[in-house]
């Protein structure tokens, strides 16, 4: 596991990431279509976790293409192997900064850059992994508390858990600002920005309240080590999210504000 990654690799955490990934597939397909990624392409999913965008990218590139998922967690990759047996998906256990692969048409990453100590270095390395004309698609969450996961009715625990997710990333030495500063990071690395937008994903209520609940449990060792919250507060936040799940008047539950950056390496 990379040293700044704060959420760990437990079964519960993998379940959380799989739930999240299944609700994002349409965003991956849509971004690839707009970026002009076609069948037969070589696509990388950097920090793919236990599912990530692997299935969606395999669909986009088809059997004539190849998808290479890269993750620093062997446990996450084992989970991915148990979920997907698609011949044109390959999995590589490595830190993204250490990989050298054949030049790719597409590099995709979701919720990976916000965990990096030096996103400039990571983006510069991604640039090197692409062919001239290759595309980088980043789907990253805003680090700002007012862009935290939300719902109607408002559940304050969702905002607080997001503060802890970001606080834990910072405490581990990550710089979680890529989503809102993507233009600077990408242009400094030599990319030409093709488009950007913000979006949020809506989940069924039970899933939407479970995602921060599990994240809170995953963060416990980092929260304790860096004294980011007391055990009493963690228990209270957990209760608040569990109670929210039982409510009958939930209108919607949404992800944090996600930023999509699509950028091309010049020919």
Ligand X SMILES: C[S@@+](CC[C@H](N)C(=O)[O-])C[C@H]1O[C@@H](n2cnc3c(N)ncnc32)[C@H](O)[C@@H]1O
| Residues forming the site for ligand X (CB under 6 A) | 1-2, 5, 7, 17, 20-21, 47-49, 51-52, 70-73, 76, 95-97, 110-112, 115
In the numeric block, which tokens belong to residue 11? 């079964």
| Neighbour tally for 117: CB within 10 Å | 15
DSSP conformational letter for 97: G
Min dist CB 225 to ligand X, Å, is 18
- Comparing CB distances to ligand X, the nearer of 46 and 250 is 46
- Comparing CB distances to ligand X, the nearer of 94 and 235 is 94
Min dist CB 168 to ligand X, Å, is 12
- Comparing CB distances to ligand X, the nearer of 150 and 255 is 255
- Comparing CB distances to ligand X, the nearer of 95 and 236 is 95
Question: SS3 for 91?
Answer: strand
Min dist CB 115 to ligand X, Å, is 5
Please answer whether residues 41 and 102 qualify as being in contact, where contact means their C-beta atoms are separated by less than 8 angstroms. Answer: no
SS (H, E, C) 189-205: HCCEEEEEEEECCEECH
In the numeric block, which tokens belong to residue 223? 């929260």
d(CA 114, CA 109): 10
Min dist CB 98 to ligand X, Å, is 8
């Amino acid at each position: 596991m990379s040293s700044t990654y704060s959420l760990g690799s437990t079964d519960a955490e993998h379940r959380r990431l799989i739930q999240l990934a299944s609700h994002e597939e349409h965003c991956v397909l849509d971004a690839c279509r707009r970026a002009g990624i076609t069948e037969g392409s070589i696509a990388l999913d950097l920090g793919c976790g236990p599912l990530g965008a692997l299935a969606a990218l395999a669909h986009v590139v088809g059997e004539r293409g190849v998808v290479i998922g890269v993750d620093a967690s062997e446990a996450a990759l084992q989970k991915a192997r148990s979920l997907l047996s698609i011949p044109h998906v390959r999995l590589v256990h490595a830190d993204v900064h250490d990989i050298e692969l054949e030049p790719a048409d597409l590099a995709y990453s979701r919720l990976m850059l916000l965990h990096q100590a030096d996103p400039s270095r990571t983006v510069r390395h991604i640039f090197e992994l692409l062919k001239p004309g290759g595309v980088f698609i980043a789907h990253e969450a805003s680090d700002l508390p007012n862009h935290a996961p939300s719902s109607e009715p408002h559940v304050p625990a969702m905002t607080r858990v997001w503060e802890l997710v970001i606080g834990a990333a910072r405490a581990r030495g990550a710089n979680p600002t890529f989503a809102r500063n993507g233009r600077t990071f990408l242009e400094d690395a030599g990319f030409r920005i093709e488009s950007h937008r913000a979006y949020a994903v809506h989940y069924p209520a039970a899933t939407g309240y479970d995602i921060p609940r599990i994240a809170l449990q995953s963060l416990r060792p980092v929260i304790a080590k860096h004294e980011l919250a007391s055990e009493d507060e963690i228990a209270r936040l957990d209760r608040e999210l569990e109670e929210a799940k039982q409510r009958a008047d939930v209108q919607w539950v949404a992800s944090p504000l996600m930023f999509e950056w699509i950028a091309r390496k010049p020919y």
